[in-house]
Chain A
Amino acid sequence: MVFKLNNQLLSKIATGNGHGEDSPYFDGWKAYDEDPYHPTKNPKGVIQMGLAENQLCFDLIQEWLKNNPKASICTPEGAEEFRDIAIFQDYHGLPEFRNAVAKFMAKGRGNRVTFDPDRIVMSGGATGAHEMVAFCLADPGDAFLVPTPYYPGFDRDLRWRTGVQLIPVECESSNQFKVTRKALEDAYDTAQLDNIRVKGLLITNPSNPLGTILDRETLKSIVSFVNEKNIHLVCDEIYAATVFSQPDFVSISEIIEEEVECNLDLIHIVYSLSKDMGFPGFRVGIIYSYNDAVVSCARKMSSFGLVSSQTQHLIASMLSDDEFVEKFIMQNKKRLATRYSSFTNGLAQVGIKCLKTSNAGLFVWMDLRRLLKEQTIEGEIALWRVIINNVKLNVSPGSSFRCTEPGWFRVCFANMDDQTMEVALSRIKTFILKNKEAKMSVKKLCWQGSLKLSFSSRIYDEIISPHSPIPHSPLVRART
């Protein structure tokens, strides 16, 4: 007799789609994987602009590595530490690692606050950290409030294996997507009505995908909100050291230490070296909690995702080199600022605007609303497919970040060299100008005759001259 083993024999978690990979967010990646751009081998391939990586400062790191062979336990200079490091699996982590990370976090915040190394808990990247925090703070069925637009990975990280829910706090372009007290209250009230217990609020500061920082007023308002509702506040500060222009970054750690009365047991920070330093492969995730019970519980849970001791050792060395760290942080900001301004200037030349308050992160939040044939998610996805298939750029549609307004796109700029960025810009410019031309020639034809033209791609309808103040309604266009 043959017993068939089918999918019902896996858990609900395994057979569901909580892994999140069915989202369109990943379709663009597939397009890239199948046809990746290369300057010489595949110059017509898809350029990856959907990956928020920081590749601008590797030369500095490489130089440091050459000069510091002891940091690696595989070099003759460092090998004497091999044995001790290789057997070290204590979930407290190497003390020198925690000290170095605490110092780095402080430096990344302009030394305006200090961090206690004993509150630092390791995790498998920020991905592991978020899941771990959710396991510590919430039961299955409980919810976290999350301002939109937000990083798509949260849907998986906070919900998949934990059974926790996410409730969006809706933000809009009318006020630069700021998180308002009203939006927070609305989200909280919605949960109450649905009988869902809210355990916390998760903010990302600086924001992914917006690239903006939360100002002091907003942060203070958030702190008083969570205290009033007696819910946790989780601050993902993974982009803290990527703030490249004014205003200065304000960390939650500054707010609670200087200004507002706050129950410290509510406050937790998630951090990582994946963005600020560009080390996503090393899986260095950090949970920093002001709540002793959470530190203790998270530490035990970190057994499921410790940082390799080999990596702890390297990072400890690198980040305790004060001179190097200061130089790195400064250069990092400089290069990001330069890249950001080259890119946005290039876009402005063809009338493409980005969120003007952005001053951080590895991406721009691009406003392509005018290019949509319909101001809907479908319209956005249609435009997005054109961008992937015709313009050959993988960018991320705002809907994958649960943005309530269609037409916004996150476009990453720090994961490539200058030449590739130029290529990407020129493709965008070509695309926009072609559309304008098509529009102009359509206009001419319309004026010349009474041709009834049906456009196979009506997105062209929406393109207006960068200097025209009057948006034309699609209805008017079609009749001309």
Chain B
Amino acid sequence: MAIEIEQPTVGLSKVAVSETHGEDSPYFAGWKAYDEDPYDESENPSGVIQMGLAENQVSFDLLEEYLEKHSEASTWGKGAPGFREHALFQDYHGLKSFRQAIASFMEQIRGGRAKFDPDRVVLTAGATAANELLTFILADPGDALLVPTPYYPGFDRDLRWRTGVKIVPIHCDSSNNFQVTPQALEAAYKDAEVMNIKVRGVLITNPSNPLGATIQRSVLEEILDFVTRKNIHLVSDEIYSGSAFSSSEFVSIAEILEARGYKDSERVHIVYSLSKDLGLPGFRVGTIYSYNDKVVTTARRMSSFTLISSQTQHLLASMLSDQEFTKNYIKINRERLRKRYEMIIEGLRNAGIECLKGNAGLFCWMNLSPLLKTQTREGELTLWKSIIRDLKLNISPGSSCHCSEPGWFRVCFANMRSKR
């Protein structure tokens, strides 16, 4: 005889039912439009073109060429003897050769202007995991991180969802090219104080997503002074560091610290990943580089939840320790990105559209405020919907990046092959 089970639906956690995963944001609605009607040169020429995805596809040929020449190094070798060791290797320290390769790659990107110690490299499955993990370590539920606007929409999920930590925005605007100012930092800190929220750190993205611009040295110094005064942490997400069009224009927080003799550097942590610079988001390669021993140890332990496949570590250790290859790759990648950027800027300019002066990243920050019916968020979303519907372009509205000024849009240019 069947048991009648009469009960309310068994509950899931608050985290599970909350919407902090962020997928209901308009950022993703455009993606859905693309998913339902994706552009294809031959099969669907009138489909939606994906320009909302910050992927780097401009330099794959270089990677493929490397693999062709070095298939011995990157596979398990004849008879697959290395396979067993790697299949078993689950040490959360990660393959030493891989950490060394990442450290040296990061040094090369910064033109040798900063040194990285492989023993401070902690591996995570993507920058998504790295940012969440750091948040778990630096802040308690209910505390806040200050983040300059506009910022990458994924932060709403990565920094807040499971951690219970809040984001308090540092408002930036076009009057000074959206740069962070000491006043804005203080104002954000006060905003938090007024709400009785404890600020644990500042998180910056340098080069910036969505602005596509590097943060100037003087601004970095000001931010570092600010966090030092307030005795809080600084997380610098440098995921686009290898995508700055010219090496000399990117200044890493690591360089500032080195110039200061690493005094008081335990409050600084860098996030990096190979998803943008190398165009390998599928491989889930993220890293946390911290100048704080306790953070390194704890992050390493926590990385158990999100380790990088040893198969992938093995492949990339080979590739990234080939310094001739990496030097060449970095240089060519920068040039190609710059060319794409200039092409798109010119095209837009001819159409009467201005962009923020950018020098990095896989996108440009476009100003469509002259086209808005009303200078409001609603006006921006209305324009955005018509761009998707009529122009069949998925671009990202500034409001999804928490931009305080309506009318700005992020347009990605590196995730496609041909001219469109």
Would A136 and B283 be within 8 Å (CB), given that A53-B88, A65-B76, A74-B75 are in contact? Answer: no
- 0/1 string, A225-240, CB within 8 A of B gives 1: 0010011100000000
- In the complex, whether A180 has a CB less than 8 A from a CB of chain B is no
Are B140's CB and A12's CB within 8 A?
yes
Q: When the two chains form their complex, are residues B83 and A11 in contact, meaning their CB atoms are under 8 A apart?
A: no
CA distance A25 to B231 in the complex (A): 37
Instruction: Point out the residues of chain A lying under 8 angstroms from B13, CB to CB.
Output: 135-139, 142, 199
Q: How far is the CA of A263 from the CA of B4 in the complex (A)?
A: 10
Say yes or no: is B203 at the interface (Cβ < 8 Å to chain A). no
- Which of chain A's residues have a CB closer than 8 A to the CB of B9? 265
In the complex, what's the smallest C-beta–C-beta distance from A59 to chain B, in angstroms? 9
CB-CB nearest in chain B for A62: B80
Contact B280 A136 (CB under 8 A): no
- Check B256 for interface membership: any CB of A closer than 8 A: no
Evaluate whether A310 and B282 lie within 8 angstroms (CB atoms) in the complex, with A3-B231, A79-B68, A300-B23 already known.
yes
Give the residues in chain B near A348, CB-CB below 8 Å: none
Return the chain B residue nearest A200 by Cβ: B10
Min CB distance, A201 to chain B, in Å?
Answer: 12
Contacts of B71 in A (CB 8 A): 74-76, 79
Interface core residue of B57, B75, B79, B315 (most chain A CB under 10 Å): B75
B21 at interface (Cβ–Cβ under 8 A)? yes
Cα of A21 to Cα of B13 in the assembled complex, Å: 27
The residue among A65, A76, A280, A304 with the most chain B CB atoms within 10 A of its own CB is A304
CB contact between A265 and one of B10, B305, B315 (< 8 Å): that residue = B10
Q: Which residues of B contact A206 (CB under 8 A)?
A: none
Q: How far is the CA of A41 from the CA of B129 in the complex (A)?
A: 40
Interface residues of B in 53-79 (CB under 8 A from A): 55, 57, 60, 63-64, 67-68, 71, 74-76, 79
Contact B125 A124 (CB under 8 A): yes
- Say yes or no: is B187 at the interface (Cβ < 8 Å to chain A): no
**Least Cβ distance of B246 to chain A in Å?**
25
Quick one: which of B10, B141, B264 contacts A3, CB cutoff 8 A?
B264
Contact between chains at A266 and B10 (CB < 8 Å): yes
| Chain A min CB distance to B239 (Å) | 14
Q: Mark A278-297, 1 if CB is under 8 A from B, else 0.
A: 11111100000000011001
Contact of B57 among A14, A87, A311 (CB under 8 A): A87
CB-CB < 8 A to B57: which residues of A?
Answer: 83, 87
Contacts of A76 in B (CB 8 A): 68, 71
Are A74's CB and B315's CB within 8 A?
yes
User: Of B294-302, B365-373, B382-390, B398-406, which binds chain A?
Assistant: B294-302
A168 interfacial by beta-carbon distance below 8 Å: no
Residue of A nearest to B7 (CB): A230
Q: Is the CB of A311 within 8 A of B311?
A: yes
For residue A28, CB closer than 8 A to chain B, the reply is no
Max chain A Cβ within 10 angstroms of own Cβ: one of B84, B161, B306:
B306
Distance between B64 CB and nearest chain A CB, rounded to angstroms: 6
Is the C-beta of A385 less than 8 angstroms from some C-beta in chain B?
no
The residue in chain B whose Cβ has the minimal distance to the Cβ of A13 is: B136
Q: Is B214 an interface position by the 8 A CB rule?
A: no
Does chain A have a CB within 8 A of B351? no
Contact string against A for B residues 97-131, beta-carbon threshold 8 Å, 1 for contact and 0 otherwise:
00000000000000000000000000001101100
- Does B162 interact with chain A (Cβ within 8 Å)? yes
Question: Are B312 and A308 interface neighbours, CB within 8 A?
Answer: yes
- Are A314 and B311 within 8 A (Cβ)? yes
Q: Would you give the 0/1 interface string for B257-299, flagging 1 where the beta carbon is closer than 8 Å to chain A? A: 0000000101100000001000111111000000010110010
B295 touches A14 (CB 8 A): yes
| Pairwise interchain contact A10-B281, C-beta atoms closer than 8 A | no
Contacts of B84 in A (CB 8 A): 55, 58, 62
**What's the A-B contact tally at a CB cutoff of 8 Å?**
246
Contact (A137, B86) CB under 8 Å given A5-B266, A308-B309, A310-B282: no
Of A127, A137, A300, which contacts B305 at CB under 8 A? A127
Contact yes or no, B228 A3, CB < 8 A: yes
- Is the C-beta of B194 less than 8 angstroms from some C-beta in chain A? no
- Asked if A347 is at the interface (CB within 8 A of a chain B CB), the reply is no
8 Å CB contact of B279 from A62, A87, A124, A310 = A87
* A40 within 8 A of partner (CB): no
Q: Nearest A residue to B300 by beta-carbon distance?
A: A19
B308 at the A interface (CB under 8 A): yes
Contacts of B139 in A (CB 8 A): 11
Q: Indicate if the CB atoms of A308 and B301 lie closer than 8 Å.
A: no
On chain A, the residues within 8 Å of B74 by CB distance are 74
Decide if A106 is an interface residue (CB 8 Å cutoff).
no
- Give the Cβ gap from A11 to chain B, nearest Cβ, in Å: 5
Q: Across the interface, name the chain A residue whose C-beta is closest to B229.
A: A3
| A88–B282 touching, CB < 8 Å | yes
Q: Which residue of A lies closest to B285 (CB)?
A: A308
Which of the residues B128, B267, B309, B311 comes within 8 Å of A5, measured between beta carbons? B267
- Which residues from A are CB-within-8-Å of B14? 139
**B240 smallest CB distance to A (angstroms):** 16
Q: Given A75-B75, A266-B10 in contact, is the A135-B267 Cβ separation under 8 Å?
A: no
Indicate which residue in A61, A72, A160, A294 contacts B12 across the interface (CB closer than 8 Å).
A294
Give every chain B residue within 8 A of A261 (Cβ-Cβ): 2-3, 5
Is A454 an interface residue, CB under 8 A from the partner? no
Asked if A10 meets B294 with Cβ closer than 8 Å, knowing A74-B315, A82-B67, A311-B312, the reply is yes
A440 at the interface (CB under 8 A from B): no
A330 adjacent to chain B (CB < 8 Å): no
Question: Once the chains bind, are A136 and B231 in contact (CB under 8 Å)?
Answer: no
Question: With A12-B140, A61-B83 as given contacts, are A137 and B231 in contact (CB-CB < 8 Å)?
Answer: no
Instruction: Pull 22 A–B residue pairs with CB atoms less than 8 Å apart, ordered by A.
Output: A61-B80, A62-B81, A75-B75, A83-B60, A87-B280, A87-B281, A127-B304, A139-B13, A227-B5, A274-B90, A281-B89, A282-B309, A283-B90, A283-B125, A293-B16, A297-B16, A297-B21, A303-B126, A304-B162, A305-B129, A307-B284, A310-B312
The interface of chain B, by Cβ under 8 A from chain A, is 2-3, 5, 7, 9-16, 21, 23, 55, 57, 60, 63-64, 67-68, 71, 74-76, 79-81, 83-84, 86-90, 125-126, 128-129, 132, 136-141, 143, 157-158, 161-162, 200, 228-229, 231-233, 264, 266-267, 275, 279-284, 292, 294-295, 298, 301-302, 304-312, 315
A residues within 8 Å of B by Cβ? 2-3, 5, 7, 9-14, 19, 21, 53, 55, 58, 61-62, 65-66, 72-76, 79, 82-83, 85-89, 124-125, 127-128, 131, 135-140, 142, 156-157, 160-161, 199, 224, 227, 230-232, 261-263, 265-266, 274, 278-283, 293-294, 297, 300-301, 303-311, 314
Known: A14-B294, A310-B309; 9 extra A-B contacts, CB below 8 A, are A2-B264, A9-B200, A79-B67, A86-B63, A89-B275, A124-B129, A128-B306, A227-B3, A307-B309
Q: Which 8 pairs between the two chains have the least Cβ-Cβ distance?
A: A309-B282, A281-B310, A308-B309, A89-B281, A280-B90, A74-B74, A281-B89, A88-B282
